[in-house]
Structure 1
Amino acid sequence: MNKQLKNYIKHIVEQTDMSDVEKKELESELQDHLLLLTEEYIVAGHSEEEAVNLAIQAFGNEQALSKELNKVISPYKMPLKIISGLLFSFYAFVVWIILIGGPGRSSAGVYNPYDWKMNINIIPFKSIMWYATGIDHINLSTILYNLFGNMAIFAPLGFFLPLLFKKCTNVKNVLIYSFLASFFIEVIQFVAHRGQSDVDDIILNVVGAYIGYLSYKLLRTLSLKAVQLVSFKTTHK
C-alpha cells in the first residue's frame, strides 16, 4: 500500500476514541475506501502520485475527520455501555433461572438419584445425534428445545461479551469464555442435582455464542460504515 495513504489513515485512526480492535477495523475500512478512490483517479488518467493526493484531498483533513468520528461515537458510547450492562445483567439472571434456579430444574423432574451415570454424558455429539435422528420417536418441540434452544440461550452472550469487555473483542476469547461459562453451568447442574450435564450442551452453547459474536461483528461493521458516512458528509459540506 502507498506509504502516504498508510500514514494518512494511521493519523486519522490514532486520534479516535476507540479500542485497538475497533481502530484496526476502522483502518481496514478506510483503506478499502481510499484504495478504491485512488484506483478511480488512476483510471481517469492521473498518475499514481496524483491519484493518491486527489483521494486524500477528497477525503479531507486528518484531524477534522478524527474529530467528526469522535463526535459521532463519544456521545453514545457511555449510555450504550450502561444500557448493555443492564441488559447483560438481566440476561444472566434469566439464564440462571432457566438453567439452574427455575422450578423446572427440580431434581425430581430431570435428575436420577439412583444412578449418577444417567445424569451425565461425556461423549461428544451423542445427544445431538440422538435428537437429530429421533424425529420418529421424540416430540418435535423437545428436539427443537434441546438443539436450537441451547444455541439460542447463549447467542446473547456472544453478542454482549465483545460489546462490554475489551478482552473479548476477538472470536478466540469469546469462544473460550463461552465454553467456561457453559462448563460452569453444567458442573453446577450436576453437583446441585438441578439437571443432566451433557458435553453436547456445551458444544451447542458455544455454537450459539459464536452466532451471537457474528451478529455483533455484522452490527459493528454496519455502524462503522454509518459513522464514516456521517463523518465524510459532515466534513464535505
Structure 2
Amino acid sequence: MDKKFESYIEQIVKDLDCDKAEKKEIAEEISDHLKLLKKEYLEQGFAEEKAINKALESFGDEKQLRNGYKESISPYYKLFKISNWILFSLFSFVVLWKLIFIRLLERVINYSNGFPQSNYFYSNEAQTGFFVFNLEIWKLNANLIPFKNTINYIVNHDRFNLDIVINNTLGNILIFIPLGIFLPILFKRYTSFSKAITFSILVSFTIEALQFLLQIGQFDIDDLILNSIGSIVGFLFIKLIIKVQRKVQKPRLFRSRS
C-alpha cells in the first residue's frame, strides 16, 4: 500500500475507541476504497502521484472521518467520556477520603483530645507521641502471609462484628471493581489486562503503604490480593460489555460511499 495511504489511514484509526482487530478491519476497508478511487483516477488519465492525492482528497479529511467513526462507535462518545471522568473523580475522592483522609482527620482530632492511639493501628497504652517508633509494634501491624487474615475472618467470623468481616473481605473486592472498569475506558495505555491489573496493584500498594506509614491502618497483603481481584472482575466485566456492544453495532461509516 502507498505510504500516503498508510499515513492517512493511521491518522483515522489510531485514536478510535475499539480493539486492534476492529481497527485492522476498518483500516482494510478504508484501504480498499482508496485503492478503488486511485484506480478510477488513473483510468481518467491522472499520473499515479496525482491519482493518490485526488483519492485522498475525495475520501475526506482525516479529522472529520475520525470523529465520524467515534460517533459511529458511540453516538454519545463525548458525553460518555465526560460522564466517566466525573464518576472516576468521585470514585477516587471517595476511596481516598474513606481510606486515607477521614482516618487521618480522626487521628488528628483524637490526638488533640488526648487520645494518641489510632483506631486502625495497634499500639500500646504507653504511647504518647503521634507516631510509634517501635519495630515490634510495626510487625504487629503488618501481614505478609497471603490470606492469613482473610481465612481468620471467615473461619472465626463469630468473634468479629459482621461489618468488620464484610468490609475486610467482600468490601476489599467491591471497592476496586470500579477501578477495573474505568481504567480501560479512560486510559488507552490500560486497555490490556496486564497493564490495568499492574496499575491496580500499584494503587492498592500505595494506599496500604500510606496507611501504614501514617499509622492510620495496617499493611495487609490480603488487601492487595482482594483489591486486585476486584479490579480483575471490573476489567473483565467492562471488556465483555464492550465486546457485546461492538458486535451489535459495528461502525460502517463509509458504506454510504459504496
Q: TM-score normalized by structure 2?
A: 0.63
SS in 2 for 1:22: coil
Task: Please give the alpha-carbon distance, in whole angstroms, between the structure 2 residues aligned to 1:158 and 1:88.
Answer: 11
Residue 48 of structure 2 corresponds to which residue in structure 1? none
Residue 24 of structure 1 corresponds to which residue in structure 2? 20
Aligned to 2:152, which of 130, 140, 145? 130
1:10-49 matches, within 5 Å, as 17=13, 19=15, 22-26=18-22
CA drift of 1:138 comes to 2.5
Task: Please give the alpha-carbon distance, in whole angstroms, between the structure 2 residues aligned to 1:23 and 1:147.
Answer: 34
Does residue 143 in structure 1 map to residue 143 in structure 2?
no
CA drift of 1:117 comes to 1.8
Residue 79 of structure 1 corresponds to which residue in structure 2? 79
Residue 220 of structure 2 corresponds to which residue in structure 1? 198
Number of residues of Structure 1 aligned to a counterpart in Structure 2: 190
Shift of the 134–25 alpha-carbon distance from structure 1 to 2, 3 Å rule, reads: farther
Kept in 2: contact 1:189–1:196 (CA 8 A): yes
Does residue 90 in structure 1 map to residue 105 in structure 2?
no
The one-letter amino acid paired with 2:224 is I
Kept in 2: contact 1:158–1:212 (CA 8 A): yes
Shift of the 172–15 alpha-carbon distance from structure 1 to 2, 3 Å rule, reads: same
Task: Please give the alpha-carbon distance, in whole angstroms, between the structure 1 residues aligned to 2:229 and 2:70.
Answer: 34
Residue 172 of structure 1 corresponds to which residue in structure 2? 194
CA drift of 1:151 comes to 0.6
The one-letter amino acid paired with 2:78 is M
Residue 221 of structure 1 corresponds to which residue in structure 2? 243
1:129-176 per-position Cα deviation (integer Å, ceiling 9, x unaligned): 111212332233321111010011111001111111111001100110
Task: Please give the alpha-carbon distance, in whole angstroms, between the structure 1 residues aligned to 2:17 and 2:187.
Answer: 12
Task: Please give the alpha-carbon distance, in whole angstroms, between the structure 2 residues aligned to 1:222 and 1:22.
Answer: 12
1:154-173 matches, within 5 Å, as 154-173=176-195
Q: RMSD of the TM alignment (CA)? A: 3.2
Structure with the largest fraction of helix: 1
Kept in 2: contact 1:154–1:208 (CA 8 A): yes
Task: Please give the alpha-carbon distance, in whole angstroms, between the structure 2 residues aligned to 1:70 and 1:165.
Answer: 16
Kept in 1: contact 2:13–2:23 (CA 8 A): no
Q: TM-score normalized by structure 1?
A: 0.68
CA drift of 1:220 comes to 0.7
CA drift of 1:18 comes to 6.0
The one-letter amino acid paired with 1:96 is L
The one-letter amino acid paired with 1:81 is K
**Is the radius of gyration larger for structure 1 or structure 2?**
2
Does residue 184 in structure 1 map to residue 212 in structure 2?
no
1:23-57 per-position Cα deviation (integer Å, ceiling 9, x unaligned): 42436999xxxxxxxxxxxxxxxxxxxxxxxxxxx
The one-letter amino acid paired with 2:193 is V
The one-letter amino acid paired with 1:152 is L
Q: Pick 1 or 2: higher relative contact order, CA cutoff 8 A, min separation 6.
A: 1
Task: Please give the alpha-carbon distance, in whole angstroms, between the structure 2 residues aligned to 1:90 and 1:168.
Answer: 20
Kept in 2: contact 1:179–1:202 (CA 8 A): yes
CA drift of 1:218 comes to 1.4
Kept in 2: contact 1:158–1:208 (CA 8 A): yes
SS in 2 for 1:109: coil
Task: Please give the alpha-carbon distance, in whole angstroms, between the structure 2 residues aligned to 1:123 and 1:144.
Answer: 20
CA drift of 1:122 comes to 1.0
Any stretches of 5+ residues in structure 1 without a counterpart?
A: 1-12, 31-62
Task: Please give the alpha-carbon distance, in whole angstroms, between the structure 1 residues aligned to 2:243 and 2:203.
Answer: 27
